[in-house]
Chain A
Amino acid sequence: MTTERAARIDNTSRREFFKVGAGLTLAFYLPASQAAKHAGKAGKEDNATPTSPPFAPNAFVRIGTDDRVTIIAKHMEMGQGTYTGLATLVAEELDAAWSQIQVEAAPADAKRYNNLFFGPTQATGGSTSIANSFMQMRQAGATARAMLVSSAAQRWQVAPESLIVRAGVVSHPESRRKARFGELVEAAAKLPVPREVKLKDPKDFVFIGKHVPRTDSKAKINGSAIYTQDIHLPGMLTALVAHPPRFGAKVKSFDAARAKAVKGVVDVIQIPTGVAVLGKDFWSAKKGRDALTVAWDETDAFRQSTADITRQYQALLDKPGALAKKVGTDGATALQGGRAKDALPAVADGETALKTAAKRLTADYSLPYLAHAAMEPMNCVIRLDDAGCEVWNGEQGHTNDQHKLAAALSLTPEQIKINTLFAGGSFGRRSNTQSDYPLEAASIAKAIRQPGKPAVVKLVWTREDDMRAGYYRPKFMHRITAGLDNEGKLVAWQQRIVGQSILKGTALEMLVKDGIDQSSVEGAVNLPYATANLDVELHTPHLGVPVLWWRSVGSTHSAFAIESFVDELASAAQQDPIAYRRQLLAGHPRHLGVIDLAMRASGWDKPLKPGQAGEKRGRGFAVHESFNSYVANVAEVTVKPDGSFKVDRVVCAVDCGIVVNPDVVRAQMEGGIGFGLSAALHSEITLNEGRVEQSNFGDYPALRMHEMPRVEVHIVPSAAPPTGVGEPGTPVVAPAVANALFAATGERLRQLPFKLGVAKPT
């Protein structure tokens, strides 16, 4: 997939190099102000700003006479290790030394920095960064290498083939001549850019698939890494916004007198999303906002409570929805008794199949709204002047935000310069196609702008603002009904899903086809388990609660419902949960690959060690594919006599194709498991007459140290194109733990977050 989809790199820069060779190089690659202010900060390991003209054979690599190799990252770094991964790909084909590599964020530019899977747009998401860059970055590295080799060959008057490159040094073994990259770049920059370059044979890889340290570790360990929150510009004001208490409400009136009396408060202004208080720093703006009185117009406000929504969704579960997938012609018959020893009935029809099934099972699963709660609450710095607008952001949807901001500020997209900084987590939150918080920052800058003077604003959301501003993982309910034959094989699977659409009403609405938002049904419409009849139906209620993708999107809920339910089927068929799955996955070698690896590594064939007196222990399994990566988890739990439990150990097997950086893959599995477990144990956004009840980590708890299980990650060796790892680690742990709790206690937990002891075992 990757190979065909990877475009040739656009080798435009020789001409551009000459254009910039007179000392403007950084200005060409970065907005001048960013280069000046941030060179050596975000994503770099030292503060060296090369002064001599560097060699920049394409938009992704720049090599200075100081030997520094700078990788220009089109994807943002939010913790997922992309900077390291992209650098690994370039360094591999360039044959650089890892110590000479540094990474810098690319400016927003859909043309040069297009996400090849989404394009034409520059965006990070859907676990695509490495997958779409795999060939592109390698070609970028190989191109630069070829030019350095040519340059050395010309200098020494030898054949290019007689040269070798290792760790940033080109050498001619015969004559024992050597040159560092930095010594060759000036001549290399004058050479034509080769149109075709040969990439390495994977057996010769020195970085890909091996251990290389993260490029961003040092800066994040010594406190020097710069996030949006850390930007401080001359004349900058800090803005806090009073948002309406309910979605859809508006400002009716406000009294700023007390706010303005707070020392350090500079201005109080109404903006479309609320009332902004501007202060000389955070604390004055915060005190000012606390002192502000706002009357809200709640005519159009959303006023439902979680219980109302749940009732509505339950009623919808009883009604047929829009058809998202149908295999077989009718499904209900198979569910109605009989069909004793038959193998799978010849494709009949789901309804018929259900009617004639030997055994029929139904279960409902329920999952709440979830906040992303990235460690760094959303914030954005904007500088608006006559020339345009400069933005500092943990930018995830570069060109979407660029266009939205341009429209809001009546500027051209080219006038919006985006400086992409490290993001303190995102989990989907920063890639909102509605550009909510950047637009809010822009509206403040626009409102305070005085002619001839720049407006410089840092919008800061407190944790409470961040948690209450919406854009949640939608609440979802699933009902699955299955028919089994006498051997426990599936004859029909009907799944009805209820939940808001993420894409409806956004720029991506064209991805909603025939009323089906694919992100609502992913995981279910591609059910891997063999069944003659598959019916997936969807209800898409329209509610005034803003929703958004959340790490692993549809799989966050579909994997929980499906993998819990398959476990129920295995237990109804009185079979081992893994053996049961294996026989239904005959045509799915990559599912089987991770299943077998997780099974072996966890010691599934040996009985689980018993706990202390009075404790119950259990082991559960789940497997799921998302974003073309396959993940299996074996979870082990201990339930104490008081009903509390601990997840002791999670064994994870992953198949993500060719592994670029195994340690980053492991880290993403560990983190994905912790993130999924955090939600499964704790997280729930609830509404009381439309007001969000949670506000901070006190009432929206996150997983903490003592709750983190021991995680063991095993990687399936693969030669398939690389696929993502940022998201696929998240959805599998909740069902694995639910299944483990069932094994330990006999109690089925069909609702997240887990509340053990609420549903009594039957």
Chain B
Amino acid sequence: MLTLNINGQNHALDVEPDTPLLWALRDTLQLTGTKYACGIAACGACTVMLNGAPARSCVTPVSAAVGQRVTTIEGLPTNKISKTSQKAAKAVQAAWEKLDVVQCGYCQSGQIMSAVALLASNPQPTDADIDAAMAGNICRCATYHRIRAAIHEAAHSLT
């Protein structure tokens, strides 16, 4: 048994300590918004926030997440994340909807988590900042063009 703090709530989990956080979230807690797509930290679909910083849950053993605040896509609307992250999340999700960024949508939880983390730490990112912060998130539908526009839009709404 180990205890994880997920979206502001403590959960006691009966999983092997080497289980990646991704599978504890998805299979044990049925928080399925966080996606599996590569399992080797190469695509970003599984991105969550650990203490507000983006992390690839597919290569983060649950044992390493103990004692940290885990935020998933389902936790973005809660008030259990920092005020800055909350504001960034609201702006990002609104921009994503306004610009209809999504296509298949499978990568988008991860994209949104990375974008929220970016805006929470850098509210006015340049294109180069966006390239750097989003480089780890693949979108096979290639919605990159709109992701970039939506991050700028969200940044704009934060001013």
Q: Which residues of A contact B (CB under 8 A)?
A: 77-81, 213-214, 216-227, 229-230, 232, 238, 263, 281-283, 373-377, 422-425, 427, 462-463, 663, 667, 670-675, 677-678, 696-698, 702-706, 708, 710-711
Contact = CB atoms under 8 A, between A and B. Distances in A.
A667 B144 contact: no
B142 A710 contact: no
Interface string B115-159: 000000000000000110011011111111111100000000000
B30 A425 contact: no
Nearest to B15: A283
Please provide the 7 A-B residue pairs with the shortest distance between their CB atoms, ordered closest to farther: A223-B33, A674-B142, A424-B106, A220-B105, A79-B104, A79-B103, A223-B73
A79 B74 CA distance: 21
A708 B145 CA distance: 7
B112 interface: yes
A697 B76 contact: no
Given A217-B96, A223-B34, A698-B42, A238 B27 contact: yes
A81 B34 CA distance: 22
Interface string B76-104: 11000000000000000100110011111
A211 B143 CA distance: 18
A677 B139 CA distance: 13
Nearest to B110: A375
B144 A703 contact: yes
Contacts of A263: 16
A147 B28 CA distance: 49
B105 A216 contact: yes
A222 B130 contact: no
Contacts of B28: 281
B105 A225 contact: yes
B64 interface: no
Contact of B144 (A80, A223, A705): A705
Nearest to A672: B142
Given A281-B23, A705-B137, A708-B142, A221 B104 contact: no
B142 A230 contact: no
B43 interface: yes
Given A78-B104, A222-B33, A425-B103, 14 more contacts: A217-B102, A375-B106, A375-B107, A375-B139, A462-B39, A463-B39, A670-B142, A670-B146, A671-B103, A672-B142, A697-B138, A702-B140, A703-B142, A705-B135
A675 B142 contact: yes
Contact of A373 (B16, B26, B140, B147): B140
A235 to B, nearest CB: 14
A460 to B, nearest CB: 8
A64 to B, nearest CB: 25
B57 interface: no
Contacts of B77: 222
A463 B105 contact: no
A232 B30 contact: yes
Contacts of B36: 229, 282, 377
A213 B109 CA distance: 19
Interface residues of B, number: 57
A221 B106 contact: no
Contacts of A667: 100, 103, 143, 146
B73 to A, nearest CB: 4
Looking at A218, A281, A375, A673, which has the most chain B CB atoms within 10 Å of its CB? A375
Contact of A375 (B33, B104, B135): B104
Nearest to A232: B30
Nearest to B109: A223
Contacts of B104: 77-79, 374-376, 422-425
Contacts of B2: none
Looking at B37, B101, B108, which has the most chain A CB atoms within 10 Å of its CB? B37
Contact of A376 (B30, B35, B96, B147): B35
Nearest to B38: A463
A240 to B, nearest CB: 12
A670 B100 contact: no
B138 A674 contact: no
B97 A80 contact: no
Interface in B60-77: 72-74, 76-77
B32 interface: yes
Given A217-B96, A710-B145, A425 B106 contact: yes
Contacts of B130: 705
B20 interface: yes
A296 B135 CA distance: 39
Nearest to A230: B32
Contacts of A677: 142
Contacts of A678: 140, 142
A697 B31 CA distance: 25
Contact of B19 (A221, A223, A283, A663): A283
Looking at A79, A422, A663, which has the most chain B CB atoms within 10 Å of its CB? A79
Contacts of A674: 139, 141-145
Contacts of B100: 213-214, 217, 663, 667
A417 B83 CA distance: 46
26 contacts: A79-B103, A79-B141, A213-B97, A213-B100, A214-B100, A218-B97, A219-B105, A220-B108, A222-B33, A227-B106, A230-B26, A232-B30, A232-B32, A238-B27, A283-B15, A375-B141, A423-B104, A667-B146, A674-B141, A702-B43, A702-B140, A703-B144, A704-B135, A705-B148, A708-B145, A708-B148
